Amino acid sequence: MDWLHEQLQAFFELFRRHLGDICIAFIATVLTVFGNDINNLVKKQIKQQNFILRLAVFVGLCAFAYGAMTVIGGKLLAKLIAPLSGQVLVPVIIGLFLLLGVIAEEKDQF
């Protein structure tokens, strides 16, 4: 039984060591699923502007805003779930990705 406990702890520790990367991947996936909605919302707001301004806003949104949301959101999510024990952390991470998969399926993005 001690062997099984040690193996589970090692498995949980693997998730904890890569928590920052996992959270960044999750936020990037969220932005992929909802990116079209965000782009359409911004497009509606700036459709009356001239081409150069629309282009600048689009480049800024894609290059800087999505990048900042990924990095900052990943760090915030990691800080939020880091205090969880390994037995809770792994199911939460898996559950978040499964929930996101269901949302993507409902949006016909898969």
**Res 8: pLDDT:** 84
Each residue of 1-40: b (16+ CB within 10 Å) or e?
eeeeeeeeeeebeeebeebeebbbebbbbbbebbeeeeee
Q: pLDDT averaged over the chain?
A: 92
If we measure between CA atoms, which residue out of 22, 34, 24 comes closest to residue 103?
A: 34
Entry pTM: 0.86
pLDDT at 110 over 90: no
Q: How many CA atoms lie within 13 A of 55 on its CB side?
A: 3
Measured between its terminal Cα atoms, the distance across the chain in Å is 41
Average of per-residue pLDDT across 50-75 = 95
